[in-house]
C-alpha cells in the first residue's frame, strides 16, 4: 500500500528544506509565552515568500552551499567488495553494501561522532555486531533478551547468542554469552530461535543451527539450572538436530522456529519460514515432546512472489481488549497476526487474519493486504522482529532489530553495529479493524525527567519554529496537530511520502525536525501530509532521512506510509529520540517508522528540535509535551556480587 520509494537514493546534493533564514523564535514554552501572532505573522509571510523564491531557484539549481563543505577524502571504503555478507553461509545479505553500491565517497568520521551515535536507553551490546532479537521471555522476575551476536567483530559472522536481563524492559544488564557455535549442527552459527514456556514453567528453546555443511537445522536447548532466575547456562539437547530440512525444501531455506502454541488436541505446533521458488511459505510442525515432530502437508500460509520468509511470528490478538494474549489462546473474539521478515527486501510485513486450529491454516482478512504485499510492521530501518507474551503484565511485546545504513568499514571503525528498538506493546486496533497498534512499553516513562509543554503553537506555511528545550538528543515527544485551511482546499492526487519534506502541497508536509542543527544544514523531518482526493482525505506519516547527515557514505531514505485517521481524531505523533535512533509512532502507533541517522553537526549540544510547516495551504496549530529522558545506564550484571 505504500509507494516503492524506498528504492530511491537520496540525491548527492539537495535543496534546503526551507530558506536558510534564521528560524522565527516562537518556540518558547506555552507556560512562558503565548503563541505568536502579529509580528510573527509578518515574519512568517516573509519567510513564506522567501521559501517560494528558494523553491523556484531550487528547481533550476544545484547544490546547497553547506553540502560543499564535505571534503572528499582518500579514505578507503568497503565498496570494493559489494557481495553481501552471509550469502555464502546460506543467509542473505547481513550487511548493507547492497544499499551503498551506488554511493561514492566517504566521510572523515571522528571518534566523537561515533561515540555520540551510541544510544542511551535503547539496547545495544557494549561492542561488536548484533542482529535479530531471539527467545525473549519473562522468568522468575526477569525479562530475558537473547540476540544474534558476533563477539569478535562489528560485522556479521561467528553468530552466538548474546544475553541480557532487565526487571523493567529498560534497564538492561549484560550477561555472559548464552550459546556459542560449538557443535557440528550449529558450528556455522547459533541462529535465530524462540522460547516456549510450558504450562509447568519449563523453558523450551528452539533455534536454527547452521551445520558444518551450512545446512539449516532446528535444535533444542534448555536451561541447565531452572532454579537460576538469570538462566546463565544452557544445555543443547544431545539428540540435536531435532529437525532437518524436509525433502522439498532447500537446505538453506529452513530457519527461525517460532514460539509453539498448543492446539485443541493438546499437541504443540510451531511454524518455520521457508520458500518454494519465489513463494514465501510457513511450514507447520506438530510435536508433543519437542524432540520428535510431524510435518503437516499444508502450509500455515504461502504468498507467491514474496521470497524467503525469515523470522516468522504468529500469535493471537483480542478483537476487543486492552491486554495481550498467550500464544496458545484461541476462540471467539480472537484474530491472529502473521508476520514474516522478507529476506529479499529486508522488510517485516504482517497481516491480520483468522487461524483455523482444526487444520492449522491461517487466512488473511483482506487478501489484497496479505503478508508481504500489504502492511509493513515498521516503515523504517527495522527487521527480524520477534514478540513474546509477558504473563506478568498480560501484554504482548515485540522487539525489532534496527540495522545500520553506513558502510561496513565505518562499523569496523566505530566497533559496533545495530541497536534493538524499545520493546513495544502490540494490540489489535479495534477502531480501524485493519491494523495493529504498537506503543513503547510503559516502563520507558520511568526515564522521563523534566517536561516542557507548548500549547497551540501556530506554524504558518513555509515556516520553521524552534522549540526551546535545549539539547535535544534524549527525548520523548508527544505532539498533536490541527490544521486551518487557508483558501478553498483544492483536490490533490498522488501525494505521499516519497517527495520528502521539501515536496510541498496544500496540506503538508508539516511536523517536527528532530536532530536538527541550528543552521538547518542537518535535520530529520517526521511529518504528516494530508491530501483531499476524490475518494476522501488521505494522510501519510513519514520520516525523511535525506537531510539527516552531511556524510555521503550513509544511505538515506524517505520512509512512511498512509496512516488511518478516523472522524474526529486529531493528527498525533509520538517520537522517541535517542541520539542516532528515532522511533516515530503515528496516530497512536498505527504506522511506525524507525530511523537510524548519522548526523555530523547536529550532535551533542548542537542537536535541536523545531516545528515546521511546508504546506502551502494550511496553518498548523501544534500542541506538544516534551520530556527529556534519562539514560538507562545499561551495564554488565555484577555477577561477582551474587
Name residues contacting ligand DQQ, limited to 268-327 (CB under 6 A). 310-311
Q: How far is the CB of 301 from ligand DQQ (least distance, A)?
A: 18
DSSP letter, residue 31: T
The span from the CA of 229 to the CA of 247, in Å, is 40
Report residue 397: phi and psi, to 5°: -125, 140
Q: How far is the CB of 211 from ligand DQQ (least distance, A)?
A: 13
Q: Is 192 in the site for ligand DQQ (CB under 6 A)?
A: yes
Q: How far is the CB of 453 from ligand DQQ (least distance, A)?
A: 41
**Cβ distance to ligand DQQ smaller for residue 206 or 611:** 206
Q: Is 134 in the site for ligand DQQ (CB under 6 A)?
A: no
Contact call for residues 439 and 328 (beta carbons, < 8 A): no
Q: Is 161 in the site for ligand DQQ (CB under 6 A)?
A: no
3-state secondary structure of 394: coil
Q: Which residues are catalytic?
A: 132
Name residues contacting ligand DQQ, limited to 324-343 (CB under 6 A). 341
3-state secondary structure of 237: coil
Position among 186, 253, 256, 443 found at the interface with ligand DQQ (CB under 6 A): 256
The span from the CA of 68 to the CA of 8, in Å, is 22
Q: Is 243 in the site for ligand DQQ (CB under 6 A)?
A: no
**Cβ distance to ligand DQQ smaller for residue 303 or 427:** 303
**Cβ distance to ligand DQQ smaller for residue 134 or 539:** 134
Q: How far is CA 276 from CA 87, 579, 618, in A?
A: 18, 41, 50
**Cβ distance to ligand DQQ smaller for residue 272 or 575:** 272
**Cβ distance to ligand DQQ smaller for residue 384 or 427:** 384
Q: Is 403 in the site for ligand DQQ (CB under 6 A)?
A: no
Tell me whether residue 248 is exposed, middle or buried, using C-beta atoms within 10 angstroms of its C-beta: 0 to 12, 13 to 18, 19 or more. Answer: exposed
Contact call for residues 95 and 85 (beta carbons, < 8 A): yes
Q: How far is CA 621 from CA 144, 465, 628, in A?
A: 43, 12, 22
Q: Which three cell numbers stand for residue 440?
A: 513503547
Q: How far is the CB of 422 from ligand DQQ (least distance, A)?
A: 19
The H helix count followed by the E strand count for the chain is 4, 36
Angle among Cα 249, 250, 254 to the nearest 5 degrees reads: 75
Q: How far is CA 224 from CA 229, 232, 257, 515, 638, in A?
A: 11, 8, 21, 46, 21
Q: Is 369 in the site for ligand DQQ (CB under 6 A)?
A: no
Q: Is 191 in the site for ligand DQQ (CB under 6 A)?
A: yes
With b for 16 or more beta-carbon neighbours within 10 A and e for fewer, the 465-474 pattern comes to bbbbbeebbb
Q: Which three cell numbers stand for residue 630?
A: 534519562
Q: Is 93 in the site for ligand DQQ (CB under 6 A)?
A: no
Name residues contacting ligand DQQ, limited to 494-523 (CB under 6 A). none
Q: How far is the CB of 191 from ligand DQQ (least distance, A)?
A: 3
Q: How far is the CB of 561 from ligand DQQ (least distance, A)?
A: 22
Element (H, E) at 459: strand 448-459
Cα 358 versus chain centre, distance? 34
**Cβ distance to ligand DQQ smaller for residue 192 or 524:** 192
Position among 208, 240, 473, 557 found at the interface with ligand DQQ (CB under 6 A): 208
Which residue bears the cell 523534566?
450
Element (H, E) at 576: strand 571-578
Q: Is 159 in the site for ligand DQQ (CB under 6 A)?
A: yes
Position among 95, 96, 124, 131 found at the interface with ligand DQQ (CB under 6 A): 131
Q: Is 91 in the site for ligand DQQ (CB under 6 A)?
A: yes
Q: How far is the CB of 401 from ligand DQQ (least distance, A)?
A: 7
**Residues ≥6 apart with Cβ < 8 Å to 111:** none
Q: Is 132 in the site for ligand DQQ (CB under 6 A)?
A: yes
**Residues ≥6 apart with Cβ < 8 Å to 26:** 35, 36, 40, 457, 458, 465, 466
Position among 51, 128, 148, 584 found at the interface with ligand DQQ (CB under 6 A): 148
Q: Is 384 in the site for ligand DQQ (CB under 6 A)?
A: yes
Peptide bond between residue 241 and the one before it cis (omega within 30 degrees of 0): yes
The greatest distance separating any two alpha carbons of the chain, rounded to the nearest whole angstrom, comes to 78
Position among 255, 269, 424, 556 found at the interface with ligand DQQ (CB under 6 A): 255
Interface with ligand DQQ: number of residues (CB under 6 A): 15
**Cβ distance to ligand DQQ smaller for residue 192 or 473:** 192
**Cβ distance to ligand DQQ smaller for residue 130 or 447:** 130
Which residue bears the cell 492526487?
493
Q: How far is the CB of 164 from ligand DQQ (least distance, A)?
A: 17
**Cβ distance to ligand DQQ smaller for residue 51 or 208:** 208
Name residues contacting ligand DQQ, limited to 458-477 (CB under 6 A). none
- Using CB under 6 A as the criterion, which residues of the chain lie in contact with ligand DQQ when the complex forms? 91, 131-132, 148, 159, 191-192, 208, 255-256, 310-311, 341, 383-384
Amino acid at each position: 500500500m505504500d509507494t516503492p520509494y524506498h528504492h530511491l537514493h537520496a540525491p548527492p546534493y539537495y535543496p534546503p528544506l526551507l530558506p536558510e533564514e534564521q528560524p522565527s523564535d516562537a518556540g518558547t514554552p506555552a507556560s512562558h509565552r503565548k503563541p505568536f501572532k502579529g509580528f510573527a505573522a509578518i515574519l512568517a509571510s516573509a519567510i513564506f515568500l522567501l521559501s517560494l523564491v528558494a523553491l523556484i531557484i531550487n528547481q533550476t539549481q544545484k547544490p546547497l552551499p553547506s553540502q560543499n563543505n564535505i571534503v572528499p577524502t582518500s579514505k578507503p571504503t568497503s565498496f570494493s567488495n559489494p557481495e553481501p555478507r552471509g550469502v555464502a553461509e546460506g543467509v542473505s545479505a547481513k550487511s548493507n553494501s547492497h544499499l551503498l553500491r551506488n554511493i561514492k565517497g566517504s566521510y572523515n568520521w571522528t571518534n566523537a561522532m561515533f561515540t555520540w551515535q551510541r544510544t542511551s536507553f535503547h539496547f545495544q551490546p557494549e561492542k561488536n555486531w548484533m542482529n535479530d532479537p531471539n527467545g525473549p521471555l519473562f522468568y522468575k522476575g526477569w525479562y530475558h533478551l537473547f540476540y544474534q551476536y558476533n563477539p569478535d567483530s562489528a560485522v556479521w559472522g561467528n553468530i552466538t547468542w548474546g544475553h541480557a536481563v532487565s526487571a523493567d524492559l529498560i534497564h538492561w544488564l549484560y550477561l555472559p554469552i548464552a550459546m556459542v557455535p560449538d557443535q557440528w549442527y550449529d558450528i556455522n552459527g547459533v541462529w535465530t530461535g524462540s522460547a516456549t514456556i510450558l504450562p509447568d514453567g519449563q523453558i523450551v528453546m528452539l533455534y536454527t543451527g547452521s551445520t558444518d555443511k551450512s545446512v539449516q537445522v532446528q535444535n533444542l536447548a534448555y536451561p541447565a539450572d531452572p532454579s537460576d532466575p538469570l538462566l546463565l547456562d544452557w544445555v543443547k539437547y544431545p539428540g540435536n538436530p531435532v529437525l532437518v530440512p524436509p525433502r522439498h525444501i532447500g537446505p538453506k531455506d529452513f530457519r527461525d522456529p517460532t514460539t509453539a502454541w498448543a492446539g485443541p488436541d493438546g499437541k504443540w505446533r510451531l511454524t518455520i519460514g521457508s520458500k518454494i521458488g519465489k513463494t514465501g511459505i510457513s511450514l507447520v510442525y506438530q510435536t508433543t515432546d519437542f524432540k520428535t515432530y510431524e510435518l503437516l502437508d499444508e502450509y500455515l500460509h504461502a504468498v507467491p512472489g514474496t521470497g524467503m520468509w525469515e523470522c516468522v511470528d504468529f500469535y493471537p490478538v483480542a478483537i476487543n481488549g486492552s491486554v495481550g494474549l498467550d500464544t496458545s489462546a484461541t476462540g471467539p473474539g480472537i484474530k491472529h497476526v502473521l508476520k514474516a521478515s522478507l529476506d529479499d527486501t529486508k522488510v517485516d510485513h504482517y497481516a491480520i487474519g483468522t487461524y483455523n486450529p482444526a487444520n492449522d491454516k491461517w487466512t488473511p482478512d483482506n487478501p489484497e493486504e496479505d503478508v508481504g504485499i500489504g502492511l509493513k510492521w515498521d516503515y523504517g530501518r527495522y527487521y527480524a522482529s520477534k514478540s513474546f507474551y509477558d504473563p506478568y503484565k498480560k501484554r504482548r511485546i515485540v522487539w525489532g532489530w534496527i540495522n545500520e545504513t553506513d558502510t561496513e568499514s565505518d562499523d569496523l571503525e566505530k566497533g559496533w553495529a545495530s541497536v534493538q528498538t524499545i520493546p513495544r506493546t502490540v494490540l489489535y486496533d479495534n477502531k480501524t479493524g485493519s491494523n495493529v497498534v504498537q506503543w513503547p512499553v510503559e516502563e520507558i516513562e520511568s526515564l522521563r525527567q523534566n517536561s516542557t509543554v507548548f500549547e497551540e503553537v501556530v506554524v504558518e506555511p513555509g515556516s520553521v519554529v524552534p522549540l526551546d528545550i535545549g539539547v535535544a538528543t534524549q527525548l520523548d515527544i508527544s505532539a498533536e496537530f490541527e490544521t486551518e485551511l487557508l483558501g478553498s482546499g483544492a483536490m490533490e492526487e498522488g501525494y505521499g511520502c516519497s517527495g520528502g519534506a521539501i515536496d510541498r502541497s496544500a496540506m503538508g508536509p508539516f511536523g517536527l525536525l528532530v536532530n536538527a542543527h541550528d543552521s538547518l544544514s542537518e535535520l530529520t523531518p517526521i511529518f504528516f501530509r494530508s491530501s483531499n482526493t476524490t475518494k476522501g482525505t488521505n494522510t501519510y506519516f513519514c520520516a525523511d532521512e535525506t537531510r539527516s547527515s552531511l556524510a555521503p557514505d550513509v544511505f538515506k531514505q524517505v520512509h512512511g506510509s498512509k496512516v488511518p485517521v478516523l472522524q474526529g481524531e486529531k493528527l498525533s505523533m509520538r517520537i522517541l529520540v535517542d541520539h542516532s535512533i528515532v522511533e516515530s509512532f503515528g496516530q497512536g502507533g498505527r504506522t511506525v517508522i524507525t530511523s537510524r541517522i548519522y548526523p555530523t553537526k547536529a550532535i551533542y549540544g548542537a542537536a535541536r528540535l523545531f516545528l515546521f510547516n511546508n504546506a502551502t495551504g494550511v496553518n498548523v496549530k501544534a500542541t506538544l509535551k516534551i520530556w527529556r529522558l534519562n539514560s538507562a545506564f545499561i551495564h554488565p550484571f555484577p555477577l561477582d556480587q551474587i
